[in-house]
Chains A and B, each alone.
Chain A
């Protein structure tokens, strides 16, 4: 009944089924593409090994180990993130349970920016949710199958580009503009680390010669940790307090862990979180002091650039980050709408890359660039190597390169399986009908004579069903003094009329019948039409009549109308009917606008589709 507020559960079966159905169809294409990419990649790896052995060089990739760590590590992370997007709760839960909470407390411009981005998802939840799966899987596969060369750099660029979009629109800039930001909670946003890794992977190979990249990475991480230490130590942000008094407000860390412990997860993990939350509640000051000290140490160690200190820092970082990943970030991806494993694993990968960049120099790092040409100058400090006994065959190198391109193209194709629908969704301003179907169910087809009516319209002109013979009709029941749903439904009727186009105006009629036994005078339908700017719509008709006439129509169309007491509006069911040009009832639709503007806009799309189908028959 009107006013009861149709809702859309995050696990709406219709929409989740559509989501999974779309994924199943797309996975066929993805499988074909991977069937090209993976064997091609495997063949490339094999050819590379043969090449190395034939040249008498130490077998293995010529890629810098630090770069390899980043490429493979973040490649796997992107794939994991893509797989996490397949969860049932994502298609409807992403905006409300992930993105919007991230923007809470942020300035208005951040919230508006996030909502603008979310509008694409809200209008097209299924294409958007499936697109994110394949974009992220595609980036991950591209990173994995493209070890070197421009295609590998392109993978890094793709990682950066998508990472920036996610950081802005999906993480609200990592929450850095909102209160309570902390390294413990993932500041400045896990995906920013993906962007950083992408930048490093996109660097030309010669950038990895020497220790400069490693030094820079460690310096940046050092500065970052020092900054996080200052932030963590900043007074008045709630991190120095636990909750020694149950009635007192819990500190930021305590309340976060208490909240995380409530999410669906294995019992042992929840128990661990509860225990640590209790510990922090009792010793909040000491815990925060420890965190500040560790962050400061890491910052100093990485900033020093001294291998021994850096090594110690790496060890501490591994232990500390893994502990935070478990007991504070709760592994990051549990609860049904987890999008990624949090910021600790990416952070460790970058730290590891920085360390390798500082201490490790590949033997043949300068011996062969991406164009295959040899370079005479040896790497300072590198161990001497045996000169190759012969030059590898050009044909063999060409085949290897072709296989590499094929692998990359296959991976890029996976990315496009997501990117192309996402691009179309971004420019398509019409909300998908599936939202309305999720709230109301699908239209009920019919083929029976529509119940006749004989009433007066908003101009006082008598009209009947037969007056509209030859025109396809959308019919609903509205309360002219309604405060909630009816104006929204009227606007959706107007939207559907607009979409059918001016040429359809004479072939269609959009009709509402009064659904209020008390306020049913023509003056009220006229006031409603003025309010909703329907008074100039030529094929809009708002009909009324005597109480007995109206009651007859409500009964004929199965519309419930109930007068409530004590200041409530008249309750009536929200229904719409499509009647063809021959006066036959073709479809019945439940027409609740749903909880938000996206669901109500979806009604217009649904009505438009049903009307067009009726006009074609």
Chain B
């Protein structure tokens, strides 16, 4: 065979050389698949205030390691008491805790974690001083309203793909409705149900909250006698149908409160709605566009106190609030970025006055926004920027408090004359490494 010429050999050599380099270099950074925006799910950090006191649920420890994140429950006895650690013992709670405080007893549910696939319960009639045990045979869903107990003791629980119910002794759970059935129902299809996100137990019915894909009516469904009805609040007239998520669905006093989110993504718009007497109509609250939801707590009056984090765009230009019943737009007061923690005092009943300060990225550099909306309010009240590490807000006994977490340290900062003042610290004896 005739050998190729020198030039041809050089060309072949160069080609093979580049090819071999390319083959060897094919281990350069792997391409990443497109990242879908995370679903907007209400975090488990929360607080709820009732007649007997206030409960807070917070994740503590090393929040970057699931096996070293341990959820704690804290209790605040009214009036003017101090926080005490009341985490039920006996089960590793790395998966999270949910609280149902509407019935004759406190019920704390352990979410599945690691190899535990069902949900033990802890029940207390003495504000967490002692606990008895219970069980949900399937694992509770990782949402703050996965468990609810009515005033008569009937319980409803949201598991991965269905809703179950139990009579007052919480020992005989039976299926109530499956997610698939809700999705396939006429009312479910009308709003495009994607997932169930909350349950509420009423004496004669159960309510389900759901994320919907194309609707102007919030996905709140009543289940009674085997019938499913869409009973959620409607967005203002003229609002285009789109994704509408139910983040919280909780009873308060004699009615219902629901926290909604539209435009799920880096900067959702949050709205609350109330049905004071369970027989309608709903009253829609003002809108607030802000960052990712970090916690959503319930106030004694049925309002919501939320903490949001910075957006993917680094905080943007602050929260924008819209008045109740209006379309989105800056018709209400806005938080002023960079103003720091000044002005305003908590009003009576635990609501905050218009402070006009705080915002998403204040001069302090904190990326957090704290805001409260009460039934009947025209705008969200934006609080002074809460301290770094704030995990949840508490509105109770006329006080506004920011509960923070730093490792095993629990901190309570109270809003006084427009400033956050540290009032209590608890070092929690977390057993790092015990779940690995």
Q: Is the CB of B27 within 8 A of A181?
A: yes
A106 to B27, CA, bound (A): 7
- Those of A1-49 within 8 Å (CB) of chain B: 3-5
Q: Is the CB of A566 within 8 A of B135?
A: no
Centre residue among B17, B28, B118 by max chain A CB count within 10 A: B17
Residues of B within 8 A of A527 (CB): 118, 135, 137
Nearest B-chain residue to A224, judged by Cβ: B20
Q: Is the CB of A176 within 8 A of B90?
A: no
Picked from A106, A228, A524, the residue with its CB within 8 Å of the CB of B135 is A524
Residue B226 interfacial (CB < 8 Å): no
Give the Cβ gap from B25 to chain A, nearest Cβ, in Å.
5
Give the Cβ gap from A213 to chain B, nearest Cβ, in Å.
16
Contact A521:B16 (CB < 8 A) given known A228-B21, A481-B116: no
Residue B424 interfacial (CB < 8 Å): no
A28 to B130, CA, bound (A): 68
Give the Cβ gap from B86 to chain A, nearest Cβ, in Å.
11
Residues of A within 8 A of B30 (CB): 107
- Those of B110-139 within 8 Å (CB) of chain A: 110, 113-118, 120, 131, 133, 135, 137
Residue A93 interfacial (CB < 8 Å): no
Give the Cβ gap from B424 to chain A, nearest Cβ, in Å.
17
A222 to B9, CA, bound (A): 12
Residues of A within 8 A of B429 (CB): 565-566
What is the 8 Å Cβ interface bit string for chain A, positions 519-536, against chain B (1 contact, 0 not)? 101011001001100000
Q: Is the CB of A231 within 8 A of B25?
A: yes
Q: Is the interface of A mostly helix, strand, loop or mixed?
A: loop
A188 to B22, CA, bound (A): 12
Q: Is the CB of B85 within 8 A of A231?
A: no
Picked from B70, B85, B137, the residue with its CB within 8 Å of the CB of A568 is B70
Residue B281 interfacial (CB < 8 Å): no
A481 to B131, CA, bound (A): 16
Centre residue among B19, B89, B430, B433 by max chain A CB count within 10 A: B89
What is the 8 Å Cβ interface bit string for chain B, positions 262-283, against chain A (1 contact, 0 not)? 0000000000000000000000
Residue A571 interfacial (CB < 8 Å): yes
Picked from A5, A107, A227, A519, the residue with its CB within 8 Å of the CB of B24 is A227
Q: Is the CB of B115 within 8 A of A516?
A: no
Centre residue among B13, B19, B24, B110 by max chain A CB count within 10 A: B24
Picked from B29, B60, B113, the residue with its CB within 8 Å of the CB of A179 is B29
Residue A423 interfacial (CB < 8 Å): no
Q: Is the CB of A481 within 8 A of B120?
A: yes
Picked from A237, A516, A523, A571, the residue with its CB within 8 Å of the CB of B434 is A571
Residue B23 interfacial (CB < 8 Å): yes
Picked from A4, A234, A517, the residue with its CB within 8 Å of the CB of B21 is A234
Q: Is the CB of A484 within 8 A of B115?
A: yes
Q: Which of B91-99, B144-152, B323-331 is the interface stretch?
A: B91-99
Q: Is the CB of B27 within 8 A of A569?
A: no
Residue B381 interfacial (CB < 8 Å): no
Contact A176:B23 (CB < 8 A) given known A226-B17, A518-B89: yes
Give the Cβ gap from A481 to chain B, nearest Cβ, in Å.
5
Instruction: Report how many residues on chain B are interfacial, defined by Cβ distance under 8 Å.
Output: 51
What is the 8 Å Cβ interface bit string for chain B, positions 183-220, against chain A (1 contact, 0 not)? 00000000000000000000000000000000000000
Centre residue among B91, B97, B118 by max chain A CB count within 10 A: B91
What is the 8 Å Cβ interface bit string for chain A, positions 106-131, against chain B (1 contact, 0 not)? 11000000000000000000000000
Residue B14 interfacial (CB < 8 Å): yes
Q: Is the CB of B115 within 8 A of A488?
A: yes
Residues of A within 8 A of B13 (CB): 222-223, 226, 299, 303
| Number of A-B residue pairs with CB-CB distance less than 8 Å in the complex they form | 161
What is the 8 Å Cβ interface bit string for chain A, positions 211-244, against chain B (1 contact, 0 not)? 0000000000011101111110010110000000
Residue A352 interfacial (CB < 8 Å): no
Give the Cβ gap from B193 to chain A, nearest Cβ, in Å.
29
A31 to B110, CA, bound (A): 63
Picked from B27, B29, B113, B120, the residue with its CB within 8 Å of the CB of A524 is B120
Q: Is the CB of A105 within 8 A of B27?
A: yes
Give the Cβ gap from A108 to chain B, nearest Cβ, in Å.
9
Nearest A-chain residue to B116, judged by Cβ: A483
Q: Is the CB of A3 within 8 A of B87?
A: no
What is the 8 Å Cβ interface bit string for chain B, positions 23-37, against chain A (1 contact, 0 not)? 111111110000000
Residue B436 interfacial (CB < 8 Å): yes
Give the Cβ gap from A528 to chain B, nearest Cβ, in Å.
8
Contact A5:B92 (CB < 8 A) given known A521-B133, A566-B429, A567-B70: no
Q: Is the CB of B135 within 8 A of A568?
A: no
Centre residue among B21, B72, B133 by max chain A CB count within 10 A: B21
What is the 8 Å Cβ interface bit string for chain B, positions 74-115, against chain A (1 contact, 0 not)? 000000000001010111111001000000000000100111
Residue A248 interfacial (CB < 8 Å): no
Residues of A within 8 A of B116 (CB): 481-483, 487, 531
Contact A531:B117 (CB < 8 A) given known A226-B17, A484-B436: yes
Residue B363 interfacial (CB < 8 Å): no
Residues of A within 8 A of B135 (CB): 521, 523-524, 527
Centre residue among A187, A226, A237 by max chain B CB count within 10 A: A226
Contact A568:B92 (CB < 8 A) given known A231-B24, A484-B436: yes
Residues of A within 8 A of B71 (CB): 567
Contact A566:B85 (CB < 8 A) given known A106-B27, A223-B13, A226-B17: yes
Residues of A within 8 A of B25 (CB): 181, 231, 234, 237
Residue B428 interfacial (CB < 8 Å): yes
Contact A5:B89 (CB < 8 A) given known A176-B24, A524-B120: no
Residues of B within 8 A of A519 (CB): 90-91, 120, 133
Give the Cβ gap from A338 to chain B, nearest Cβ, in Å.
23
Q: Is the CB of B87 within 8 A of A483?
A: no
Residues of B within 8 A of A568 (CB): 70, 92, 430-431, 434-435
Residue A149 interfacial (CB < 8 Å): no
Nearest A-chain residue to B25, judged by Cβ: A231
Residue A175 interfacial (CB < 8 Å): yes
A299 to B115, CA, bound (A): 56
Residues of B within 8 A of A229 (CB): 17, 21
A237 to B133, CA, bound (A): 58
Give the Cβ gap from A215 to chain B, nearest Cβ, in Å.
10
- Those of B37-86 within 8 Å (CB) of chain A: 60, 70-72, 85
Residue A178 interfacial (CB < 8 Å): yes
Residues of B within 8 A of A4 (CB): 433-434
Residues of A within 8 A of B431 (CB): 564-566, 568, 571
A608 to B178, CA, bound (A): 43
Nearest A-chain residue to B89, judged by Cβ: A563
What is the 8 Å Cβ interface bit string for chain A, positions 432-472, against chain B (1 contact, 0 not)? 00000000000000000000000000000000000000000
Residue A132 interfacial (CB < 8 Å): no
Q: Is the CB of B89 within 8 A of A483?
A: no
A527 to B91, CA, bound (A): 14
Residues of B within 8 A of A236 (CB): 28
Contact A230:B21 (CB < 8 A) given known A481-B116, A523-B171: yes
A228 to B17, CA, bound (A): 8
Contact A563:B433 (CB < 8 A) given known A187-B24, A223-B17: no
What is the 8 Å Cβ interface bit string for chain A, positions 170-181, against chain B (1 contact, 0 not)? 000001111111
Nearest A-chain residue to B432, judged by Cβ: A568
Q: A481-B90, A531-B117, A565-B431 are in contact. List 5 more A-B contacts (CB 8 A).
A: A228-B20, A231-B21, A234-B25, A484-B92, A564-B434
Please provide the 6 A-B residue pairs with the shortest distance between their CB atoms, ordered closest to farther.
A227-B20, A518-B90, A226-B17, A567-B70, A569-B92, A230-B21
- The residues of B with any CB-CB pair to A shorter than 8 Å are 9, 13-14, 16-21, 23-30, 60, 70-72, 85, 87, 89-94, 97, 110, 113-118, 120, 131, 133, 135, 137, 171, 428-431, 433-436
Q: What are 25 residue pairs bridging A and B, where the CB atoms are less than 8 Å apart in the complex?
A: A3-B92, A176-B23, A179-B27, A179-B29, A227-B20, A227-B24, A229-B21, A230-B21, A231-B25, A482-B115, A483-B116, A484-B115, A519-B133, A524-B133, A524-B135, A530-B137, A531-B116, A531-B118, A565-B85, A567-B87, A568-B70, A569-B434, A569-B435, A570-B90, A571-B431
